[in-house]
Structure 1
Amino acid sequence: MSPTTTLVRNQWYVAAYSEEIGEELFARTVCNEPLVFFRAEDGAVVGLADRCIHRRYPLSKSQRVEGDRIVCGYHGFTYDRTGTCVAVPAQTRIPRSARVAAYPVVEQDSLVWVWIGDREPSAPESIPRAPWLIASGWTTTRGLETIQGRHALLMDNLMDLSHETYLHGGYIGTPEVADTPITTEIDEEAGVVRVSRRMDDAECPPFYANSTGITGRITRWQDIEFTPPCLYRLHSRVAPQGNYPPPDYVPGRDYSVDDGAFHTEIVYALTPETEHSVHDFWMVARDFAIEDQSITEYLHTNNRVVVMQDVEALNVVEAVIAEEERTSGTYQELSINIDTGALGARRLMANLLKTAELTEPSGGVEAR
């Protein structure tokens, strides 16, 4: 099963951070769909197709938002929050077909989710949560990079953290990450892949040594939960070597039972832009030194370096694979034990494809 370029539609995807969307028009492409967002007068986020029905002018290039309406900057076609055209120039009759697609939007945990597809959206309750991003007692730094590579490559990258040892040495990688075996659970009913790596006696990488103040070796746990196609959560626990959590400790749950450790929630949203590019939303939430801005800046700077190392590597891999597909029609790869998480994620993605309606998109469904 090779990394596919097929876009999985009829799914919720992260389109933006809440802080990115205000009264001004905001553009982003998701699964080949050009979208425009803005915040309506009641504070809700509105998502519409970013092309005027008249002459295809991008609505996001317009300068006028009148209340809850977008006025196209080319000829003045005016759309309400449902995508219905309510005014056209030089005539009172509005053509019945004058409308643009409206996309269901849910805002939670500081993330703006959009439903991409031509079916009715699944319930907002089905969207996976990342409560640490807004929880009291936590602070978060975040960023976004767009990788010129297919969604599956970023998914593979995040599911196999052994690459930290080689690609991210000097930041988050140490020899123990690659040397420690993993355990993998594929919960097909819940649609979640879980990968755990428990390091009992590990070197403390600079990312954690300089942010926590730990000196010496550490007990380091990495517990991944990935809900395809979009939300990835890495529950990271570091503590001085030999400091183990109590029996009732569950990664990602109530951290108050484990006050002898430092907890970091690394959250990624993997949102396809096109078949060969993916938006890499990255977030680092922590429950220690939450008022220390210098640590926030340190973690932001260093995590962005790590992300950019991934970006560079995945851009190269995409170019290599695309060339081999172009010249040979296929390519070869070899998987080993460390790839069980990635292979499980690929399997769940294949399941999503089977259940999705793989028809040409109708351009969204009517907003509710």
Structure 2
Amino acid sequence: MTSFIANQWYVAAYAREVGRTPFARTVCGESILFWRTNAAAVTAMSDRCVHRRFPLSEQPSHLVDDTLVCGYHGFTYGADGVCVAVPGQRRVPRTARLRTYPVVEQDSFVWVFIGDPALADGARIPRAPWLDLAGWTAVSGREPLAARSSLLVDNLMDLSHETYLHGGYIGTPEVAETPISTRVDEEAGIVYVSRRMADAACPPFYAKSTGITGRITRWQDIEYTPPCLYKLHSRIAPVGVLPNADGSDPDAFHVEVVYAITPETENSTHDFWAVARDFALDDQGVSDFLAESNRTVVMQDVTALNALERVIAGEPDGYQELSINIDTGGLAARRMNAKLAGR
């Protein structure tokens, strides 16, 4: 029995990754092949030929117009996964078809549905519009994590670790010192965690990208939609600068940090990350700095979580875990994920 939450949409790739060269990515233990048709539509199908299970992502498998030719024995498939030709005979076995997956391109991501295709309602996909929206500029990447996806959720739901793990980049003492508020919207299936700092040091991540030299008002408002999408709404402004009464906020800098948390296997995860901003939109230097800095932060998390996975995997089940006030958001996320998994 796996721990994967089925009948859910997961991010499988960035839209920019999918082209006319088929490539495979494992999502929830399933190896899935992605490629674009001549009309630029993304198709997702099993990465295993029905004949002898040869990985269709391996050369010399290749596309011919909108058909995929297996590089082992030449079985040929249409974009719908149905085999249209086999070697040495005219009759194509009726059962010669690949499993296909519902797929949606949205907000720069390619989402794939894992589970019963009849339940694949695209309207249920959570949004991250800033990643592909006028008035915003985004940088993004993906890092492999040799740890279970639940550890990344725990990590992101408790940002107090920024003070200790990410000092010199995004962490300052105020992050760990400031209490959080947690709210759970059971009907919408969202966990909210908020930490608002009225007077905090400005970490290099924001000082160098915004140009602020003094102390700041810093808001961190988390919105997590289990099991797969995490959004951190960040507001940075000089101390005392608050939004206008009508909600407009022209004197602040806004950063949307997005993580798509996609299980690869039981003990490995695709860590998709993106940082969108509403300032210095055309400044490539700012983009390069944010991309490099955020990847450094992500890799610090990866190193820590990989170590934690090794510890947990080597310990007996049922070890005692201590939780405190800063864990309320993470515990709420665990509970919602367990409910989705039917546990």
CA deviation string 1:218-263 (max 9, x = no partner): 00000000101111110000000111112443xxxxxxx1111000
Match of 2:5 in 1: 8
What is the correspondence of 1:135-146 to structure 2 with a 5 Å cutoff?
Answer: 135-146=133-144
What is the correspondence of 1:1-368 to structure 2 with a 5 Å cutoff?
Answer: 6-62=3-59, 63-249=61-247, 257-324=248-315, 328-354=316-342
In 1, the alpha carbon distance for the partners of 2:150 and 2:275 equals 22
1:212 is displaced (CA, Å) by 0.3
Amino acid at match of 2:295: R
Question: RMSD across aligned C-alpha pairs, in angstroms?
Answer: 1.3
In 1, the alpha carbon distance for the partners of 2:180 and 2:245 equals 20
In 1, the alpha carbon distance for the partners of 2:180 and 2:246 equals 21
CA deviation string 1:303-351 (max 9, x = no partner): 0000000000000000000000xxx233221111100110111111011
**SS of match in other structure, 2:199:** strand
Match of 1:365 in 2: none
In 2, the alpha carbon distance for the partners of 1:101 and 1:125 equals 23
Gaps of at least 5 residues in structure 2 are none
Change (3 A) 1:40 1:121: farther
In 2, the alpha carbon distance for the partners of 1:311 and 1:214 equals 29
Amino acid at match of 1:38: W
The answer (yes or no) to whether the contact 1:10–1:118 under 8 Å persists in 2 is: yes
Amino acid at match of 1:223: D
TM-score scaled to structure 2, two decimals?
0.98
1:53 is displaced (CA, Å) by 0.6
In 2, the alpha carbon distance for the partners of 1:200 and 1:164 equals 17
Change (3 A) 1:5 1:226: farther
CA deviation string 1:150-169 (max 9, x = no partner): 01000000000000000000
1:68 is displaced (CA, Å) by 1.6
Amino acid at match of 1:339: D
In 2, the alpha carbon distance for the partners of 1:68 and 1:10 equals 28
1:141 is displaced (CA, Å) by 0.4
The answer (yes or no) to whether the contact 1:104–1:121 under 8 Å persists in 2 is: no
> What percent identity do the matched residue pairs reach?
64
**SS of match in other structure, 2:6:** coil
**SS of match in other structure, 1:347:** helix
The answer (yes or no) to whether the contact 1:174–1:203 under 8 Å persists in 2 is: yes
In 2, the alpha carbon distance for the partners of 1:46 and 1:293 equals 33
In 1, the alpha carbon distance for the partners of 2:269 and 2:57 equals 21
The answer (yes or no) to whether the contact 1:234–1:265 under 8 Å persists in 2 is: yes
1:122 is displaced (CA, Å) by 3.3
Amino acid at match of 2:269: V
The answer (yes or no) to whether the contact 1:5–1:150 under 8 Å persists in 2 is: no
1:119 is displaced (CA, Å) by 4.8
1:186 is displaced (CA, Å) by 0.8
1:146 is displaced (CA, Å) by 1.0
**SS of match in other structure, 1:60:** coil
- Hey, which bits of structure 1, 4+ residues long, moved more than 4 A? none
1:299 is displaced (CA, Å) by 0.4
In 1, the alpha carbon distance for the partners of 2:287 and 2:319 equals 42
In 1, the alpha carbon distance for the partners of 2:234 and 2:335 equals 25
In 2, the alpha carbon distance for the partners of 1:27 and 1:39 equals 13
Query: How many residues are treated as equivalent by the alignment?
Result: 342
In 2, the alpha carbon distance for the partners of 1:246 and 1:29 equals 46
1:118 is displaced (CA, Å) by 2.9
Change (3 A) 1:248 1:339: farther
Higher relative contact order (CA 8 A, sep 6+): 1
In 2, the alpha carbon distance for the partners of 1:284 and 1:228 equals 20
Amino acid at match of 1:105: V
In 2, the alpha carbon distance for the partners of 1:95 and 1:333 equals 54
CA deviation string 1:32-81 (max 9, x = no partner): 00010001122110000000011111111144211221100111101111
In 2, the alpha carbon distance for the partners of 1:189 and 1:42 equals 38
The answer (yes or no) to whether the contact 1:5–1:276 under 8 Å persists in 2 is: no
